[in-house]
Structure 1
Amino acid sequence: MASSQNGKKQAPIYKVIMVGSGGVGKSALTLQYMYDEFVEDYEPTKADSYRKKVLLDGEEVQIDILDTAGQEDYAAIRDNYFRSGEGFLLVFSITEQESFDVLDEFREQILRVKNAEDVPLILIGNKSDLQQNRQVREDVATDKANKWLKPYIETSAKTRDNVDKAFFDLMREIRNRKLAENSKPHTKQKDKKKKKKCTIL
């Protein structure tokens, strides 16, 4: 019965938002994940949205990726983007200290907009293929992630290193959050049903 019901069900959608300064490689990561191609010079002037079906631990799901533009001019619009997201990849470039320093601000804005103390989020240090130009040490980035109680992954959109891992790990975080949230109202409903049954008896 469950399998026939699942057949009719639409694959669950996981809404992922790419967040970070301009030029850190958010679009390059997104396009590498979506189309297996590396785009060196891609400068979006507005947010772009992508969707594809993938297998997450054997289950067919849809990932919906919103690639935000990253420029400061869009700070006001960002609130709307963040509101629609279920999980966030906070991306900086390991070759650019400033892109790392602004992440606290992005995270605070996400938590404020989501009105939550915690959201599914992974810290991403991109451009790991450019070790010779590294400005942000791995242990410093790991410390920040640990402080946030979040994972830290170093990726390279160029070599595709850890690109799939970043998106799949975030989808798992979103799934776990959904399961946790769904279990709360169900217990209340069960309690109500039990009470109703008791009154009938």
Structure 2
Amino acid sequence: MSNLYLSGGGDKEQTYEIDRVFAGELGSGKPLLYVPIAMNTAHISYEDCYKWIYSVMDPFGITDITMWTNLRGKTSKDLMKFGAVYIGGGNTFSLMHDILQSGFSSQLTTFIDEGGLIYGGSAGAIVMGSHLATCEHMDNNDVQLRDRSGLSYLGDYSIWCHYDTDNDDLIHRFIDTYSKPVIALNEETGLQVKNGRMEIMGTEPAYVFDVDKMKKRVEPKEFFSFS
């Protein structure tokens, strides 16, 4: 799997370097698709979500942005009109529920296989991993999602966002329960995935936990492989 960008869920100042590289790869060709459906609109409206993504991308010259707030009925043909998809944060379980119910996972896989870019921020990053239980300490499963499997775009790795060293015991418990390695991203850390290898992005290191719970620090611009 290639052309994937993940961020740990920081604000636009914290993710500036990650967003800059992503926008540079998107360029000024096809428009950007923004999918904010993980957000609880009782607290933040979709209108405000759009204003936010525009404020993030405008400094990099990306102003042609379309927002989808419902994935039902969307086809691969619809998706291929875009150069990249940005899937935003919110409730991870709700996001995955909507992706599965709409059949959008197959559209995403086709899109990235055809050379499209996908950016996942926070919940949008977690669903790209192998298991969603990395968000259980933050997100309620109000949609009663039974299958906690993610899209597995990074092999067996699961993604832990908003990472802090206080989370280490929770990560160990996750590994004990699910036997999945974890890539932990704090709010200034991102990950670019291309052709079976990953590069750490942003201004802070990532931390990789293997299935034996050994923790490795990986610095920005450092590579490691998952294939």
Q: Same fold (TM over 0.5)?
A: no
Question: Which one has a bigger Cα radius of gyration?
Answer: 1
Looking at secondary structure, tell me which structure has more helix per residue: 1
Give the TM-score normalised by the residue count of structure 2.
0.35
Give the TM-score normalised by the residue count of structure 1.
0.38
